[in-house]
Amino acid sequence: MSSLIQPGSVAQVRRSLVRNQHAFDQHCAVFQATSEQLLERLDLLAIEPKAVLDLGCRTGYQLDSLQQKYPSAEVIGCDFATLPPAKIPRSWPAWLRSQPKNPARLECDPHQLPFAAESFDLVVSNLMLPWCHSPHRVFEEAARVLKSGGAFMFVSAGPDTLKEYRAAWACIDGYLHEFGLIDMHDIGDSLMAAGFAAPVLDRDSLTVDYPDIGALQHELRALGAANVATGRRLGLMSPSVRQSLSANAEEIERFKVSLELVHGHGWKGELHPSGQNSDSEYKIPVDSLRGSWSSKIAR
């Protein structure tokens, strides 16, 4: 069986996210950590966008930070599924009820965005691509909605993500247990094919440790990352399977997993002013010269 796992349909992914979206904010430490890195790297672009799209905004966890970073810009978030904004109680005083609304959030298919061409100066995406069955279409849509010279910056997951989890399952069955993990160079090729000039890509590593493998599985379900891949094991796990999985994942203390993070950005239709590389060359961002970002999150 192939090790390349494809996410399911948009409808299937949306159902999974809707079912678990109320638990997302309690289990999004990894998303928050990569979001901080993405926001820091935006400084390298040195642009002042008038319109920003957060592609894969989930519950809107980074929309406020984007609005603070670009206070004069219109910031819009979209995702497979979005939580409705909280209702302001009628008992609150009028002055508080009239405070500015949070940035708008829309439900949409990232493979077919509901925006006119050249609507945005900046598109950002944090850990959304693993849920997309055709990442190249997402890149094409990002390029379509960007103005000429606009920038696309994203974080995705590479093939070595959750390799320890995969190894634990390999002793039990031949099914697929993670999905949407694309090699960095394949991402670069897709970006250039979509119309992005000389994409800049590099890898980072992140280690997350859990009390046990069950805690990891619980978090994957809360993030909507379970049971939405084609080729997956169907049905519920029996107690014996759960016991075997735990036995194969036993460690002295906690169950640690690795995340291979792929950071990238590209410019629509033109090179960044400082770019001198050819179409086949992959540049490394300035900040990565200080050393690969390696961190640990305890859960």
Give the domains, in start order, of the chain with CATH numbers: 10-159+180-225+261-298 (3.40.50.150)
pLDDT of residue 294: 47
Q: How many residues does the chain have?
A: 299
The model carries a pTM of 0.77
Phi/psi region, residue 8 (left: phi>0; alpha: psi -120 to 50; beta: rest), is beta
Radius of gyration of the chain, Cα coordinates, nearest whole angstrom: 20
Rounded to 5°, angle at Cα 18 from 56 and 159: 50
pLDDT value of position 291: 37
Q: How far apart are CA 14 and CA 228, in angstroms?
A: 9
Q: Tell me, what's the pLDDT at 177?
A: 45
User: Tokens 């004069």 appear where?
Assistant: 72
Q: In a structure prediction context, what are the per-residue pLDDT tens digits for the chain, which is 299 residues long? A: 334 456 778 888 888 888 888 889 999 999 999 999 999 999 999 899 999 999 999 999 999 999 999 999 999 999 998 765 544 455 555 544 444 456 789 999 999 999 999 999 999 999 999 999 899 999 999 999 999 999 999 999 988 888 888 777 665 544 444 555 778 889 999 999 999 998 999 999 999 989 988 888 889 888 888 655 434 443 334 454 445 445 554 544 678 999 999 999 999 985 544 444 444 443 434 333 333 344 566 66
Neighbour count for residue 201 (Cβ, 10 Å):
21
In this prediction, residue 279 carries a pLDDT of 41
Contact 128, 55 (CB under 8 A): yes
